[in-house]
Amino acid sequence: MLESIYIGMSGLTAYSKGLQTISNNVANLNTAGFKTSAPRFADLYYGQQFARSQPGAGNTMQFGSGVEYGYSSLNFMQGDLHSSSGPLDLAIQGEGFLALLDGDATRYARTGQFSVGDDGFIADKATGLRLAALTSSGGLGPISLEGKQISAPQATTVVHFSDNLSSGSTSFSIPNVDVYDANGGKHTLTITFAPDSAIIPGRWKLTVTDENNLPVQQGTLQFNGGIPEPGRDKLDLTLSSVDAPPLTVTLDFSNGVTNFSAGSTSSLRVSDKDGYATGTLSSMNVDDNGQLILQYSNGQTDTLRTIALARFSNPQQLLQMGNGLFDASHAIPPIYRASSGAGVGQLIAGATEASNVDLSTEFGQLILIQRGFQASSQVLSAANEMIMQLFQMRGQG
């Protein structure tokens, strides 16, 4: 009869641990990236006693020893994806995991909010672990912005023009044409056009002045039949700068420029030009392939390495560590791929994954565990009453 008490106590202990699991799930209802655990119970080993042999029956009797809390099974069902304002907030649509570097160890997470630390590495805001990217050898390495905070300038070499310079115009000018020297210094030019067709029809005089209205260069532009004459359709000018080498820029009217009559209205404009100033890092985002894109104030872009996503053959071997992290030291090593690779899912930037806690499921489990606990306590009460009756009978005897 004492065995019944121990069996009942095993039920109370097991269901208490099951309640702890359910409580933890419910408490993490709003924890980003949290994965629920389902309690699993197991019967304890059986003792054996010899019994009298009977025809067609064994000669042993088996007695159960109760129940134990076997393990908790992780539920990796996808949580809802919520939009966020952080460009480096990352979530995964699919089965993959983000890889985070913790010294020599690697941890894994389903979602995270990342930022650039003081050391230039991209790290998780909550844990400080560095976000891992794929290396050229297929391994993992941290993502550093060292040397990427500035976009070096590029000198302007050519300015292209398009549209119509009306043959009926008496004068025309294009102001605020910005060009840049090798050190990123900006020179703002004004290009003035005046007809000079008294001797040769279709000839225009060009005057280029700088931001101080000082003359930089003069030249001529020749049209034949309303289109620029080859060899007379470009103007080279040289600008000097205090802290940069002389800048030579070509004004190119050879393609897309016409000289047809349109009254006094001309539509001639700058169509494109190269060169840009020094740029500072203004924003970052992650594209669909998991590659980090850097955008600079001078309009230029640059790319860093591709964020690594991990695929496990058996995610149940992962261990929860807190802060949404998983330990894989006892799991089969994962395969690392870029976003949209086989089995790793799609990396989503500007989003986080919510907890996958389903309250209806948790409360259903809670009712079952509560009933199991109550039933085990009833067994204890019944066994206790029977023992008390036994003691009373022995006392009477």
Question: Sign of the CA dihedral 141, 142, 147, 151?
Answer: positive
Model confidence pLDDT, tens digit, residues 13-49: 999 999 999 999 999 999 999 999 999 999 887 766 5
Q: Which amino acid is at 367?
A: I
Taking only the tens of pLDDT, the chain with its 397 residues reads 678 888 899 999 999 999 999 999 999 999 999 999 999 999 887 766 555 555 555 556 667 889 999 888 999 999 999 999 899 999 999 999 999 999 999 999 999 999 999 999 999 999 999 999 999 888 999 999 998 999 999 999 999 999 999 999 889 999 999 999 999 999 999 999 999 877 789 999 999 999 999 999 999 999 999 999 999 999 999 999 888 999 999 999 999 999 999 998 999 999 999 999 999 999 999 998 999 999 999 999 999 999 999 999 999 999 999 899 999 999 999 999 999 877 899 999 999 999 999 999 999 999 999 999 999 999 999 988 888 888 888 666 5
Please give the pLDDT value at position 157.
Answer: 97
Q: At what angle do helices 2-27 and 359-396 cross, to 10 degrees?
A: 160
Please give the pLDDT value at position 200.
Answer: 86
Report whether 229 contacts 131 (CB < 8 A). Answer: no
The closest of 76, 43, 23, 27 to 331, measured between CA atoms, is 76
Model confidence pLDDT, tens digit, residues 271-311: 999 999 999 999 999 998 999 999 999 999 999 999 999 99
Q: Residues 108-111: contacts with CB within 8 Å, 24+ apart? A: 108/310, 108/318, 108/325, 108/326, 108/327, 108/328, 108/334, 109/33, 109/324, 109/325, 109/326, 110/33, 110/35, 110/79, 110/324, 110/353, 111/32, 111/33, 111/324, 111/352, 111/353
Report whether 149 contacts 297 (CB < 8 A). Answer: no
- pTM confidence score: 0.77
